[in-house]
Amino acid sequence: MSREIIKKEINNQLNPNISVDCVIFGFDGKELHVLLIDRENELKNVVSAHALPGNLVYDHEKLNMAAERVLKELTGLTSIYLEQFGAFGDPDRIKKKEDQPWLKSVRTNPNARVVTIGYYSLIRMSDYELNPSSFAKFAKWIPLKEIKNLPFDHFKILNSSIEYLRSNTKIRPIGYNLLPEKFTLNEMQKLYEAIFNKKIDNRNFRRKIINLDVLDKLAEKQEGVAHKPATFYKFNVVKYENYIEKGFFKFEF
């Protein structure tokens, strides 16, 4: 066998000890959703059939490349900005009894210890069409508040990503990838309330978000609403990206 063939085979091997898992948040105008897959195998954990999109890493791949590949394979999503938020390496993270049959059916070495790298992203749900493949039978948006159980340590990974998102939201603006191009302050407030899972004082939120100076007020208002029509705003992209790059000091309520 030539060196070229051997090298190609090595590069195409999945590393049994390293994986990536992706937490993709979406917003529907009312609440946060998380993109989960339903694994195509009758041996999957029926107690928690849904799982985060994740899989092992090829030996030749960089971690970012692996995360992009896995997300595309399992959900069909591409051109998504993914950010690392943590590593999870508990020796028992994939040793739940109920997860063993599925692992044995899809992995050559199901008992190998796996350290996973967590990635997360925020996207506008309506901008993307889901197209699952590989071992993902379905990919679907599940309201965050409805997720109570996940296989392996995925629930821990999800909770860790939420804390990371909340911490990031206090030092960087969010919403550009979650809200429509033009939106009301009330819609933006609902997004922040969904992220922090608490009611925010209306007057306090409006004062702080306007003082942040990342929004441009439009000469447009809602139409056909029963209440007083609200003014539309949009993000000032230059100011928004400046805050994303440099951050700010404790945007809290």
As for how many domains the chain has, the answer is 2
Whether residue 20 is contained in a domain is answered as: yes
Judgement on whether residues 136 and 21 belong to the same structural domain of the protein:
yes
pLDDT digits (tens, 9 = 90+) for 86-114: 999 999 999 988 888 888 888 888 889 99
Whether residue 252 is contained in a domain is answered as: no
Last residue of a domain, one of 128, 144, 169: 169
Alpha-carbon gap, residue 43 to 98, rounded angstroms: 9
pTM of structure = 0.88
pLDDT digits (tens, 9 = 90+) for 65-80: 999 999 999 999 999 9
Judgement on whether residues 43 and 123 belong to the same structural domain of the protein:
yes
Judgement on whether residues 43 and 132 belong to the same structural domain of the protein:
yes
Last residue of a domain, one of 143, 169, 195: 169
Last residue of a domain, one of 169, 197, 232: 169
pLDDT digits (tens, 9 = 90+) for 199-223: 999 999 999 999 888 999 999 988 8
Q: What is the pLDDT of residue 250?
A: 74
Collapsed DSSP state (helix, strand, coil) of residue 160? helix
Judgement on whether residues 57 and 160 belong to the same structural domain of the protein:
yes
Instruction: Note down the domain range covering 30.
Output: 3-169
Judgement on whether residues 154 and 206 belong to the same structural domain of the protein:
no
Alpha-carbon gap, residue 187 to 215, rounded angstroms: 13
User: Can you give the CATH number for the domain in which 139 is found?
Assistant: 3.90.79.10
Burial class of 77 by CB neighbour count within 10 A (0 to 12, 13 to 18, 19+): buried
Whether residue 175 is contained in a domain is answered as: no
Judgement on whether residues 18 and 79 belong to the same structural domain of the protein:
yes
Distance of CA 22 to the CA centre of its chain: 6
Collapsed DSSP state (helix, strand, coil) of residue 116? strand
The answer to whether the beta carbons of residues 147 and 111 sit under 8 Å apart is: no
